[in-house]
């Protein structure tokens, strides 16, 4: 049986911006006989994420991510429904997710590559398994908990860059739940600033495309910055670090402003910024959520409880259809999303 799929058509080059033309809607053939240990899944929703940008390169520059192959289906985070199973433990009707889900309407996958999820923990909102209780939620939660050093009643100011995105909008709220006194976000539009302050409880928000970040930081963070959840790197981060306090902590989550450039990860800091880190004893350790898999179950339980209690608010930007997946990725890389960018493929 042939099924619709999105393939990698071309690479943008390490120094290039990805475009819709890098993706191609096509068909792939599913095996006619289901092998032992495998399942047939129907795709329900897909995730587009910044890390995918390095999978577009022939060399990803990391040992934990494989390059996507030209002419082969894209893969990333996905959620779907088991339709047929020759894998012990899954039966038709189960909902499963994976970090390596092909961008296809249906797929044949090894059952062992999938995790069963319970839709009840997200009130049936399956895309949350790609967002608030998925990789971005875990990244926000574990990043804050492992590297943020937030303490109750310590009067700390937390600054989040990429603040209106999947990780950022959750990280700011989690910082507050963990005890931060002041939470400020930097993001790329007035609407994003409005959402952060009016809907998500941030104390301030700075539109880096319109405002002088350095000057705005001084007025939004008059006591300096104690914890910086860094999603973007580059000039924005340099401005933030200059205003960090002695003994501060940086959660080095991501550096999206550098992903379309041929630079190593993490990209080197300018000398004067390195000096600020050194002189003020500021920590900046690399954080990778995959290193904390033993803590995923307890973290998901906490995130789901906060969702249920209404303590954690979730924003998503949703497009529908496999044919829109490439465009959704390109849009997310350019800031088109508020909250988690999701591609829905089919309803249950």
Strands (E), the chain: 2-8, 23-29, 38-47, 75-85, 95-102, 106-110, 115-116, 157-161, 182-187, 204-207, 225-230, 244-252, 283-286, 316-320, 340-344
Verify binding: residue 265, ligand NAP, rule CB under 6 A: no
Among 173, 237, 257, 344, interactor with ligand NAP by CB under 6 A: 257
- Among residue numbers 139 through 158, which ones bind ligand NAP (CB under 6 A)? 139
Interacting residues of 86 by C-beta distance below 8 A, sequence separation 6+ = 34, 35, 36, 37, 38, 39, 111
Residues 6+ apart with CB under 8 A from 215: none
Classify burial at 234, counting beta carbons within 10 Å of its beta carbon; exposed 0-12, middle 13-18, buried 19 or more: middle
Region from 67-75, 101-109, 251-259, 307-315 binding ligand NAP, contact rule CB under 6 A: 251-259
Q: State how far the alpha carbon of 310 is from the alpha carbons of 70, 165, 184, 280, 325, in Å.
A: 43, 19, 21, 38, 30
Interface positions, 25-64, toward ligand NAP (CB under 6 A): 49-51
Contact 251, 227 (CB under 8 A): yes
Query: Contact region for ligand NAP (CB under 6 A) — 79-87, 145-153, 229-237, 274-282?
Result: 229-237
Distance CA 226, CA 150 (A): 9
State which residue, 18 or 188, has the beta carbon closest to ligand NAP: 188
Nearest-angstrom CA–CA distance, 117 and 285: 32
One of 18, 76, 80, 136 touching ligand NAP (CB under 6 A): 136
CB of 259 to ligand NAP, least distance (A): 7
Exactly one of 6, 200, 256, 273 binds ligand NAP (CB under 6 A); that residue is 256
Q: Taking contact as CB under 6 A, which single stretch among the options 12-20, 186-194, 220-228, 274-282 is the one that binds ligand NAP?
A: 186-194
- Measured from the CB atom, the residue of 178 and 230 that comes closer to ligand NAP is 230
Q: Which stretch binds ligand NAP (CB under 6 A): 19-27, 90-98, 216-224, 255-263?
A: 255-263
Which residue reads 């930081």 in tokens? 217
Q: Nearest to residue 314, comparing CAs of 125, 142, 50? A: 125
Paired with 45 in beta bridges are 79, 344
Minimum gap (Å) between residue 286 Cβ and ligand NAP: 8
Q: Which is nearer to ligand NAP, 106 or 147 (CB)?
A: 147
* Cα–Cα distance, 102 to 87 (Å, whole number): 19
Contacts to ligand NAP from residues 268-327, by CB under 6 A: 287-289
Indicate which single residue of 85, 127, 231, 243 sits in contact with ligand NAP (rule: CB under 6 A): 231
Smallest separation (angstroms) from ligand NAP to the CB of 326 = 16
* 174 part of the interface to ligand NAP, by CB under 6 A: no
- Applying CB under 6 A, the residues found at the interface with ligand NAP are 49-51, 135-136, 139, 162, 164-168, 187-189, 192, 231-232, 236, 253-257, 287-289, 332-333, 335, 337, 341
């Amino acid at each position: 049986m042939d099924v619709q799929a999105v393939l990698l058509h071309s690479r943008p080059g390490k120094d290039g911006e990805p475009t819709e033309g890098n993706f191609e809607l096509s068909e792939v053939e599913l095996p006619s006989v289901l092998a032992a240990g495998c399942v047939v899944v129907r795709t329900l929703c897909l995730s587009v994420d910044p890390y995918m940008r390095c999978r577009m390169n022939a060399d990803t520059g990391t040992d934990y991510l494989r390059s996507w192959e030209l002419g082969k289906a894209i893969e990333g985070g996905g959620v779907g429904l088991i339709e047929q199973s020759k894998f012990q433990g899954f039966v038709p009707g189960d909902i499963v997710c994976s970090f390596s889900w092909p961008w296809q309407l249906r797929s044949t996958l090894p059952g062992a590559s999938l995790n069963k999820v319970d839709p009840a923990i997200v009130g049936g909102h399956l895309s949350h398994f790609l967002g608030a209780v998925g990789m971005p939620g875990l990244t926000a939660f574990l990043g804050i908990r492992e590297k943020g050093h937030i303490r109750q009643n310590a009067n700390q100011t937390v600054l989040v860059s990429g603040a209106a995105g999947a990780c950022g909008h959750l990280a700011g709220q989690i910082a507050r739940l963990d005890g931060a006194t002041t939470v400020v976000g930097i993001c790329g539009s007035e609407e994003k600033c409005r959402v952060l302050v009016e809907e998500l409880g941030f104390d301030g928000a700075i539109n880096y495309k319109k405002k002088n970040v350095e000057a705005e930081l001084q007025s939004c963070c008059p006591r300096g910055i104690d914890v910086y959840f860094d999603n973007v790197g580059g000039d924005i981060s340099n401005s933030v670090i200059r205003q960090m306090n002695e003994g501060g902590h940086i959660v080095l989550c991501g550096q999206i402003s550098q992903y379309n450039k041929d630079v190593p990860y993490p990209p080197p800091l300018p000398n004067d910024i390195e000096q600020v880190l050194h002189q003020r004893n500021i920590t900046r350790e690399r954080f990778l959520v995959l290193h904390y898999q033993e803590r995923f179950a307890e973290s998901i339980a906490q995130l789901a409880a906060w969702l249920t209690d209404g303590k954690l608010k979730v924003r998503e930007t949703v497009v529908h259809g496999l044919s829109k997946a490439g465009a959704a990725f390109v849009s997310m890389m350019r800031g088109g999303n508020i909250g988690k960018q999701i591609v829905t493929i089919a309803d249950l």
